Amino acid sequence: MNITEKIASELNVASARIQAAIDLLDDGATVPFVARYRKEATGGLDDTQLRTLAERLQYLRELQERKQTVLSSIEEQGKLTDELRQIIAAVDNKTVLEDIYLPYKPKRRTKAQIAREHGLAPLAEALLTQPDQNPETTAQSYLNDNVADSKAALDGARAILMEQFAEDAALIGCLRDKLWREGEIHATVLEGQESAGEKFKDYFNHREPIHSMPSHRALAILRGRNEGILALSLKYQPDDTPLSEQSIYEQLIAQQFGIADMGRAADRWLRDTVRLSWRAKIFLSLELDALNRLKENADQAAISVFAQNLKDLLLAAPAGRFTTIGLDPGIRTGVKVAVVDDTGKLLETATIYPHQPRNDWKGALTILIHLVKQYKVQLIAIGNGTASRETDKLAGELIRALPDYQLQKIVVSEAGASVYSASALAAKEFPNLDVSLRGAISIARRLQDPLAELVKIDPKSIGVGQYQHDVNQNQLAKSLDAVVENCVNAVGVDVNTASVALLARISGLNNTLAQNIVNYRDQNGAFANRQTLLKVPRLGSKTFEQAAGFLRIQGGDEPLDASAVHPESYPIVAKMLQTAQLRADQLIGNRGVLKALKPTDYIDNNVGLPTINDILAELEKPGRDPRGEFQTATFADGVEDITDLQPGMILEGVVSNVAAFGAFVDIGVHQDGLVHVSALADRYIADPRDIVKAGDVVKVKVMEVDITRKRIALSMRLNDDAQATSQRNERPRRHNGKMPHNPSSADNAMAAAFARLKQ
């Protein structure tokens, strides 16, 4: 198997492009660098394709290594034939490889091995190939010191055949695929766990095809099993099938080995051997395989949703460089206040007590007015936790008290702020500051620039994923780290203001190099140009090549350093300047002149048209930010708690999370509401992300409010009849033990989706 050609076929990309990408990655190039600055070599593969390539490359290389181990093992046993070598060489799947290796894999002594040692292999072969022989009579010929009677002989022969059946790679592959396609997962509540497992109530008697089970349902039932609430089984035939009836799976085993019930002496014994092989050995193994595959698929889907939500959150539009007050709401402990300047530098902190038990509203307002006047504050960032709406009222009164300052207040997600506050990074950044006050700083900064602040927090703590503790943690961390890396490099960073945490995410850099950059900056002042980066300890030419294009220098002595044009391309820009008879600062942003330049005039043996076009686009809008325009929701006055909601209300909110079954929306009442996928639009929606993403500001109608269970049903179809929907939103009914699957049936699906809220 040629790995390059295999990946090229999967990605539908020329082999030469794939090999070029592999060579670059093997040489230490990062995905962002290759995607942005090596388009000619890879044919324009984007970061998603490159990461898929890298994952497949690792998988196939591991497979190749395993093949060598398997071949060596079989060869040492003297059992490696040319045919078997060819079969193994053609395998492109680890599971299939292990199926082939199973008969040769060294293992503990099995019943079959013991039976062979006792001379019973010829008996097994005779009964399989000559079923007209009587098993009892034939077995008498194989009695010896280790085989006392015909029953022992037949038991040994059966063990040999059962192992033979279970180690037939082609058969097992066929049975595995068939069970996955046709098997049904069945979840039932364990006796006595009904009350303890209330949140799993929708799965107390749940059954559906395993191959089509959505990720969120799969992870829910698997969690229910792990918590001792649910029992899971895989059904491969109707429950009312007589035990004596041969299943299709048993028929396939029999066909594979030429076993048929033709009234011959050994047919019944062989048929029983097939049944026992399937029910006591093969099915148990394949059931475990199927459940593992269900978990892997569910993990992959959940991680993908988490990654997409994280990307949307990280690429949320920044409010911009404005002096900001961050308010971390609290009741008894007070509201923590932090003022940061337009670069995020801390100016002052305070704690105010406008709420119970002190109720010092006037004193709190006086302090805030003083801070606004002293530091010319322009924005107010309010965390969306406890007492958020009450604090939002205080901010509203502050704005009215200072009309000349044109203050704006925005409620922002504080997910992960407490994690940052207690982190080693925060302690290093603010060693003498109380932990609780660090959260207010984070809230203020994440309004100014979400990406720059959120990179300081473990992505798993940002709160945009479901079942995140149930999925494979290594895969989750790897996926989320890739998202952060992609986002940071897509935006680029100002090397003279970026934090260590932000710089460490730049292509080619790590925590040590990032700290060295900051130390050099602190000791020598702002970087005047990109070339100065080469003076940073341990930052060599290879690292410079990977990182320079993503590091920006504003107001330096080289105008191009403020753009995404890589220093290696500066000679091309010099040719453009010569053509235009302009200086760099005169050409940058000069759309008319740039449009008049012919890209083909600058192509040479090293640089192709994709790079030339990228350079021209960057010169037209240097340092352009790929993030959208900043927008924020305005929460309705008087709607501060779930008890304030009434069906029919139309409110503005912010999408906080997107799942396969719908979108959660923060409408300012401390409990996110759910817009089921069927209520996102007036047409069928397969993927909620086709309509909304995390951070979007949307208008929703309140359809149903369940105060007891803290559930809020919302709709983005503002003409929906709230009362009618409310009456329909019962717990999902089942038909023949199965959940309805009509994606447009909001009546049953809405309540089921709520059961998964924040699980």
271-315 per-position pLDDT tens digit: 999 999 999 999 999 999 999 999 999 999 999 999 999 999 899
Q: Which of 197, 111, 113, 198 is nearest to 155 (CA)?
A: 111
User: What domains are defined for the chain?
Assistant: 3-104 (1.10.10.650), 324-448 (3.30.420.140), 642-754 (2.40.50.140)
Write out the DSSP string of 694-729: TT-EEEEEEEEEETTTTEEEEES-TTS-HHHHHHH-
Sequence length of the chain is 759
Neighbour tally for 346: CB within 10 Å:
19
In the chain, which residues have pLDDT < 70? 1, 723-759
pTM score of the predicted model: 0.85
State the pLDDT at residue 44. Answer: 93
Q: Which of 367, 368, 365, 376 is nearest to 323 (CA)?
A: 376
pLDDT in tens, 449-492: 999 999 999 888 887 777 888 999 999 999 999 999 999 999 99
523: Cα within 13 Å, side-chain hemisphere: 9
Q: Are 633 and 618 in contact (CB under 8 A)?
A: no
Would you give the end-to-end CA distance of the chain in angstroms? 43
State the pLDDT at residue 588. Answer: 93
State the pLDDT at residue 723. Answer: 60
Q: Are 496 and 524 in contact (CB under 8 A)?
A: no
Contacts for 119-123: CB closer than 8 Å, 24+ residues apart: 119/144, 119/146, 119/147, 120/147, 120/153, 120/156, 120/157, 120/160, 121/160, 123/153, 123/154, 123/156, 123/157
Write out the DSSP string of 190-213: PTT-TTTTGGGGGGTEEEEEGGG-
Q: In angstroms, rounded to a whole number, what is the distance separating the alpha carbons of residues 296 and 473?
A: 12
In the chain, what are the helix, strand and coil shares in percent, each to the nearest 5?
A: 55, 10, 35
